Amino acid sequence: MSLSQTEQQILASVPGLAVVSSTGTYAGAGLDLLTVENAGGQATIALQGAHVVSFVPRSGEDVMWISPNSQFTPGEAIRGGIPLCLPWFGPHPQDEDKPKHGFARNEIWTLVEASQTATDVTRVTLELRDNDATRALWPHAFVYRLEISVGKVLHLDLAIEHKGDAPQLHSLALHTYFNVGKVTDAVITGLAGTTFIDTIPKEKPRHKQEGDVQLVGPTDRVYLDVPRTQHINTPARSIKIDSVDTHCAIVWNAWTNADKIADIGPGNYVGYLCVERGDAWEFSPTLQPGQIHHATMTLSVE
């Protein structure tokens, strides 16, 4: 483990917190994983990317989906869970040679705070500051902090602090892969009547959503100006997604195109559905020097 002395002291101060290596559970060269467990539930968080890998409410099943082909290898994004797409979502707006979805999901974050606020709620805060590697891709000063509350529900509060001296455009997403069992059985409510951008065609047409969303093929849509709450309903359960301060919902499944994506692989598209909350396209925020932008999301099972 490569934790600092301060991080080790934080771990030791809160019951139910530990750091383990991914090598015992996942394929790849190995990443440090923060494990959280209390009377309300449990979660696993990779320090690379401040990436929530697993969230299991007490007496429930995992809300997250991790690809069986995902590699837990330093410097490579984890396929599944909740990657942070930041400071840009999708291709870089000026340079497509730069990493898709930004660099935050590939950087090692630092554990800066942890507390048990009740017997069934544990809160941890991870932080990433600009460094030589990030400035080579994004020549701006910043502080990113992700506060994760684990209990019966999972709550994320991503704070993006722009420390540069000029306004800067950002885009972002909490790129959540939900474990739905069988994607064709999953129905998304809470998007009817909104406008979405179909990003698969070159023209990127816009359409109005008629009724609920149920996938029947490859899907990559950015829903705009959406209500704060969506539900994913499956025969087994209903997952509630609540975000009071983001404006977009991205719905994605590669379908059989996943045959060409090595860390998903043939047939594995069936198990997941991405419903990502964030701010992109015309809702991408331009942060002023010193401004802090929040993106929050709460996940629960009903």
Query: In degrees rounded to 5, what are phi and psi of residue 97?
Result: -80, -15
User: How open is the CA angle 97-100-105, to the nearest 5 degrees?
Assistant: 130
**Could you give the 3-state DSSP secondary structure of residue 22?**
helix
Check if the beta carbon of residue 10 is closer than 8 Å to that of residue 39: no
Read off the amino acid at residue 194. T
Check if the beta carbon of residue 11 is closer than 8 Å to that of residue 19: yes
Check if the beta carbon of residue 244 is closer than 8 Å to that of residue 228: yes
| Residue showing tokens 């539900």 | 231
Nearest to 220 by CA among 138, 53, 107, 100: 100
CA distance 74 to 81: 16
**Could you give the 3-state DSSP secondary structure of residue 114?**
strand
Q: Which residues are catalytic?
A: 175, 276
